[in-house]
Structure 1
Amino acid sequence: MRVVLPLAGTRGDVQPAVALGLELQSRGHDVVLGVPPNLVDFATRAGLTAHTFGPDVQKLYSSDRGQKALAAGSTFKLMPMVAKQMSEYAYQMDSELIALSEGADIIVSTQMTEDRSQSIAEAAGIPMLTMHTFPSRRNRTYPFPGSVSHKKELPPFVNETTWRVAENLRRVGFGKYINRLRKRLNLPTTRKGIEGILASEGVPELQIYSHALVPGLAEEWGDARPFIGFIPLSREAREAVGELAQSHTDIVEWAESGPRPIYFGFGSMPIRDTHAVTKLVEQVCADAGQRALISAGWSDLTTTDAETADHVKVVGALAHDVVLPHCAAAIHHGGIGTTFESLRAGLPTLVCSVSFDQPFWGAQIEKLKLGAHVPFPKVDADTLAAGLRVLLDPKTVQRASEFAHRLRPSETAAARVADAIEARAGL
């Protein structure tokens, strides 16, 4: 069976599908991935066939304009920029997906590619399945991510209303591009939203995140949208893409040379002044009597590390599964992949959210008393120190340790998604 997985976004969006692709490939299926140009090497080094699909969103985020939009901490300021990039790339993206899907027996999409995938699958007369990495369908338990403050408990009808508004905005905003693709495929145009189309076709919508992070949602959705859990990348695959355990020896040795450090995952945050940030972390941790391990994508890593005090170490990107178990707590942007890794390691977590689904996950961590949440623009010495106190509270530490066990079933998630794909294909 030829399985095509069109993907968009950053590594956090692509990595679960790579793990799934490897599982499908081990079962003898022909797996083809469509990924942004900056992630083709990542997917191929893991051992999969991958082709360019869509624009390089990470490049957009790293641009001066993108960094300013991210630093504003507003999804609504970031969305127009992303939408503009997507609209400029729309026709080419359609062409890439048409070529990618040639000869496919089934298409497996994500919430970011399901619109196009549905039209392609309909034209080819083949089944499809979609995977969601955060709540992406109407419900009465939670509001649409980023639409309102997630700190307050809202009436169910308000939560549902935010979804109705978001669905309509998506239909209006992307409808013209989808209908252009449908015309190209000789399909009738539609005024329906993708949510209604997939529901009417009975397309399985698998939730590849843990129901433990969203209490009540599994009960509301029932079997219609099953929760599978996170899909982690195996250590073997991580080794293949270059995240060698042995290359982290010096980091692990430093972490074990004293009290467990606080992990700061600043690699995906819009840091404008690296010197100021390291000094902030250095001072806050010194005041709290803690050590800090800063993982950042800064160009002056070596110089920055040399200028820090002994209780602070600055490194580049690292393998979370190797290093985080040696840390005491984690502070990062709240992307679902990093959030899963820190919680799986049993670490109390402070989310410094930037945009999209990150404020939602930060709010959930706070509600579950597994850590704290501070919007990135509000991060300063006071908010960082306050968050650190929450993380180091023995009760938070205990809850985070116990919660980690609820994420362990994710080790079989790839196999369960593969089972669902085979069932959808009639195998």
Structure 2
Amino acid sequence: MRVLLTSWGSRGDVEPLAALAVALRGLGAEARVCAPPDEEFAELLARVGVPLVPLGPTVRSVVARPERPTVEDAFRLAARLVAERFETLPAAAEGCDALVATGLMPAGARDVAEKLGIRYVLACFHLLGLPSRQFPPGARPGKPSPEGETDNRVLWQQDAQRVNALYGEALNSHRAAIGLPPVDNVRDHVLTDRPWLAADPVLCPSRGMTDLDVVQTGAWVLPDDRPLPEGLESFLAAGAPPVYVGFGSMASYVPKDIARVAIEAVRAQGRRVVLARGWAGLTPVDDAEDCFVVGEVNQQALFGRVAAVVHHGGAGTTLTAARAGAPQVVVPQIADQPRWAARVAELGIGAAHEGSTPTSDSLSAALAAAMGPETRARAEAVSGEVRADGAAVAARLLLDTAG
């Protein structure tokens, strides 16, 4: 069996596909990944021997600019990605039996699978985009809902209209070019009635949370056995466990002084700092020896050796910290991140910072709460409940339902 896995999004959207590809290979299937051509994604996939077919622009070129993307940028990107999928996926899916799509609204993927006559699966890593009577939709570029509207059914209908405005014209134009009829609800067409949820059920329970018939496989975790850099090993051994601070790909969203604020907050708690540069290029505020800067690093190996993890609330970082039993402080910026922050607080495994722009005092207070003995004990207990076999579950499901 051959499977094409495709996504356009940050590392948190691409690394799970590498995990699924490895799991499929372990069952004797062949998998290839069609994803953004960012250098770090290519290196990640090469490390596990999975072929990368480039799709669209690099994510870094879109999100790591000094200014945040505008609504006009979002509309241009939506049309470009639809066109890129119709151009790239047919050749990438040649000889494949199934196509699994994830990431930023993969409009075009189901349509290519339909034209090729192969199975299509939509997988997501959180519940944010799945219609629900329990919660409103997340923010999306386009015409906002009327102020004061609280009926979730109405809000989700308006969300579908925004998706149509973003993707509908481009999608139906390309469908017509290959002899397919138009679709009138792009969002529901992409999602299908039975999407897969590649998220841990402890961290992201789905029962009763969406109107769709979700198949929850568990999170797709790529095992990482890389050693930590020698300098980091020496830093960890030189004192009490430090606090990790990192904001991933949130280059244009995090406050400009976030490194200074975070370092001051950690120092106020009497701890040292492991500062991840990330796409924002965070740097230390001075030459003090209590701060160690890392680039791309094995978080699975690191998080079990820190006092706490301060992060933006991406699905992958939240999961890795939870698996490691590390208390978390989540400073959410966009998209699904506020939901992960709320869940971390609800489970008692960390603190959710109120607002996206912390001060040294507010972040220090959140750290104090997260590093308390009760939270540490709870984080360690929950770590034993979080599973790492979701990729294997999904791989078996793909093979069992082939044909």
Distance 1:355 1:300 in 2: 19
Q: What residue number does 1:319 align with?
A: 298
Count the aligned residue pairs.
Answer: 391
- Please say if residues 282 and 308 of structure 1, whose CA atoms lie closer than 8 Å, have aligned partners that are also in contact: no
Q: Give the residue type in structure 2 aligned to 1:121.
A: A
Aligned residue for 2:23? 23
Determine if the alignment matches structure 1 residue 115 to structure 2 residue 96: no
Matches within 5 A, 1:279-290: 279-290=260-271
Aligned to 2:207: 218
Deviates more, 1:328-337 or 1:112-121: 112-121
Aligned to 1:425: 402
Tell me the secondary structure at the aligned position of residue 188 of structure 1: coil
Are the equivalent residues in 1 in contact too, given 2:63–2:252 (CA < 8 A)? no
* Contact 1:208/1:231 (8 A) holds in 2: yes
CA distance in 1, matches of 2:190, 2:279: 44
175-184 or 39-48, which deviates more: 39-48
Matched, 1:62 2:64: yes
Q: Distance in 1 between matches of 2:349 and 2:46?
A: 36
Offset, 1:277: 4.3
Secondary structure of 1:294's aligned partner: strand
Alignment partners' CA distance in 1, 2:139 and 2:280: 31
CA contact (8 A) 2:107 2:190 kept: no
Alignment match, 2:48:
46
CA distance in 1, matches of 2:256, 2:217: 42
1:381-406 deviations in Å (ceiling 9; x for gaps)? 12211211221222222221111112
Q: Distance in 2 between matches of 1:406 and 1:9?
A: 28
Q: TM-score of the superposition, structure 1-length normalised?
A: 0.83
Q: Deviations over 1:156-202 (max 9, x none)?
A: x7444433322231123211121112112211112133425754xx6
Report whether the alignment pairs 1:231 with 2:208: no
Q: Structure 1 residues 33 and 115 mapped into 2: Cα distance closer, same or farther (>3 Å)?
A: same
TM-aligned CA deviation for residue 104 of structure 1: 2.1
Name the structure 2 match of 1:381: 360
More helix by share: 1
SS at match of 2:14: helix
State the Cα RMSD in Å. Answer: 2.8
Name 1:137's counterpart in structure 2. 130
Counterpart of 2:182? 189
2-side partners of 1:273 and 1:425: how far apart? 43
Which string of whole-angstrom CA distances, capped at 9 and with x for unpartnered residues, describes residues 69-90 of structure 1?
A: 5xxxxxxxx5553332232454
| Secondary structure, counterpart of 1:235 in structure 2 | coil
CA distance 1:299–1:268, shift in 2 (3 Å): closer
Measured in 1, the distance between the counterparts of 2:16 and 2:400 equals 20
Report the AA paired with residue 134 of structure 1. H
Q: 2:230 aligns with which of 230, 249, 254?
A: 249
> Which residue, 294, 297, 305 being the options, matches 2:275?
294
Compared CA separation, residues 258 and 159, structure 1 to 2 (3 A): farther
Paired with 1:223 and 1:167, the residues of 2 have a C-alpha distance of 15
Aligned to 1:11: 11
Query: Per-residue deviation at 1:417?
Result: 0.2
Distance 1:333 1:297, change over 3 A: same
State the match for 1:91 in structure 2. Answer: 83
- 5+ residue gaps, structure 1, are 70-77, 148-156, 237-243
The answer to whether the aligner puts 1:175 opposite 2:188 as a matched pair is no
Query: Could you tell me how far apart the structure 2 residues matched to 1:100 and 1:211 are?
Result: 32
Partner deviation per Cα, 1:186-235 (whole Å, 9 max, x = no partner): 11112133425754xx6x421111222234x3245599212221111112
Where does residue 150 of structure 1 map in the other structure? none
Per the normalisation by structure 2, the TM-score is 0.87
Amino acid at match of 2:138: P
Give the C-alpha shift of residue 131 in structure 1: 1.1
Structure 2 CA distance for partners of 1:320 and 1:414, relative to 1, 3 Å: same
Percent identity, aligned pairs only, is: 25
**2: CA distance, partners of 1:337 / 1:214:** 12
Alignment of 1:190-205 (within 5 A): 190-195=183-188, 199=192, 204-205=194-195
Distance 2:368 2:53 in 1: 46
CA contact (8 A) 2:5 2:34 kept: yes
Q: Deviations over 1:229-268 (max 9, x none)?
A: 11111125xxxxxxx30x4233133223222111101443
Displacement of 1:51 in angstroms is 0.8
For residue 117 of structure 2, what is the aligned residue in structure 1?
Answer: 125
State the SS of the aligned residue for 1:142.
coil
Contact 1:143 1:162 in 2 (8 A): yes
Instruction: Look up the SS of the partner of 1:323 in the other structure.
Output: helix
Q: Which amino acid aligns with 1:337?
A: G
CA contact (8 A) 2:14 2:35 kept: yes
> Does structure 1 conserve the Cα–Cα contact (< 8 Å) formed by 2:329 and 2:352?
yes
State how far apart, in whole Å, the 2-side matches of 1:108 and 1:419 are. Answer: 14
Deviation at 1:3, TM superposition (A): 0.8
Q: Please, which moves more after superposition, 218-227 or 174-183? A: 218-227
Q: Distance in 2 between matches of 1:159 and 1:373?
A: 25
State whether residues 34 and 52 of structure 1, in contact with CA within 8 Å, keep that contact through their aligned partners in structure 2: yes
**Contact kept in structure 2, 1:211 and 1:229, CA below 8 Å:** yes
**AA matched with 1:21:** A
Aligned in 2, Cα 1:383/1:79: closer, same or farther, shift over 3 Å?
Answer: farther
Give CA-to-partner distance per residue, 1:324-365, whole Å, 9 cap, x none.
110011101111111111111111211112211112211222
The residue identity in structure 1 corresponding to 2:59 is V
How much does 1:377 deviate? 4.2
Q: Which amino acid aligns with 1:133?
A: F
Cα 1:205–1:42, aligned 2, differ >3 Å: closer, same or farther? Answer: same
Q: In the superposition, relative to structure 1, how do residues 92 and 413 fare at CA in structure 2: closer, same or farther (>3 Å)?
A: closer
Kindly provide the amino acid, as one letter, of the partner of residue 306 in structure 2.
C
Taking the aligned partners of 1:318 and 1:376, their CA distance within structure 2 comes to 27
